[in-house]
Amino acid sequence: MGALTVERCPETGICSIVKDDGNKIDLLPDEAAQLNKAHGDAGAIRKVLAAVDPGFADSLDAEELAQLSAEMK
């Protein structure tokens, strides 16, 4: 259980999500937009992330999914 760091580039739309253990996922602009649309739905957030990196998506706990849900708007 840990906090995530969410970094979004306003120029490119690329989004990086980094776990405390250094595990990281980078999302292209269209993938970041899908994540924004999934706001409030942990299952949908996990599905978007799993399409990019299944291992990263599976490693997220409920607290981390809740954090993403709150931050991705």
Structure confidence at residue 69 (pLDDT): 87
* Domain housing 8: 4-71
Structure confidence at residue 70 (pLDDT): 86
Provide the sign of the torsion angle of the four alpha carbons 39, 52, 50, 67, taken in this order: negative
Domain count, the chain: 1
Structure confidence at residue 40 (pLDDT): 87
**Each residue's pLDDT expressed in tens, for the chain with a length of 73 residues:** 468 999 999 999 999 999 999 999 999 999 999 999 998 899 999 999 999 999 999 999 999 999 998 887 7
Structure confidence at residue 5 (pLDDT): 94
Structure confidence at residue 19 (pLDDT): 94
Could you tell me which residues come within 8 angstroms of residue 54 by beta carbon, excluding any fewer than 6 positions away?
none
